[in-house]
Amino acid sequence: MSVRIEKVDLPGIGTRHDVVTEEGRRLGVISHRNGEREIAMFDPKDPDSCSDSMHLSDDEAGALADVLGTSLLLGQFAQLGDQSTGLFTEQIILGAGSPFAGRPLGDTRARTVTKSSIVAILRGPTVHPSPGPEDMLQVGDIVVAVGTREGLEKLSSVLADGHG
């Protein structure tokens, strides 16, 4: 897999970082000197011809970064598990009936009880990687865990009703 990132100085404007995909498509992130930013799509046949652009507020840029980071993280976790290693990943949604909603992660005793590791908590577009026992769980959190098939099934039960 080959992805190129090219930096282009834009005199009087700022800089543009282009991501050039394997297909040769070009997506630019323009960082203006005044702090504004925009995303630009370029014509594959003419890298200097912008076919569309969109300004992003700070909140929009942050949300886009969170979404891209989350999807990348989940994709990497998904690649970990397969039948040959016996290691799997699972995303478990913390439901409203969970006895652990509003309580710290350590109260689940997940690793001790299920031999599974909680490696991230997804809350909306935000990823909380490597959560500690003091991190609070909330209804709707997506718990990303790694373990054996049996351990993950037990973890799902523990998070749902407190019983393994």
Q: What are phi and psi of 148, to 5 degrees?
A: -75, 165
CB of 42 within 8 A of CB of 51?
yes
Q: Which pLDDT belongs to residue 3? A: 67
**Is the residue at 72 inside a domain?**
no
Tens of pLDDT, residues 111-145: 999 999 999 999 987 888 889 999 999 999 999 89
| 48 and 86 fall within a common domain | no
The better pLDDT of the pair 103, 144 is held by 103
**Is the residue at 108 inside a domain?**
yes
| 19 and 90 fall within a common domain | no
| 34 and 89 fall within a common domain | no
Tens of pLDDT, residues 38-75: 999 988 788 778 889 999 988 888 777 766 766 566 66
Q: Which pLDDT belongs to residue 159? A: 95
How many domains are there within the chain? 2
| 88 and 39 fall within a common domain | no
| 155 and 107 fall within a common domain | yes
CB of 40 within 8 A of CB of 52?
yes
Regarding pTM above 0.75, the answer is no
| 48 and 87 fall within a common domain | no
Among 41, 56, 71, where does a domain finish? 56
Range of the domain at 43: 4-56
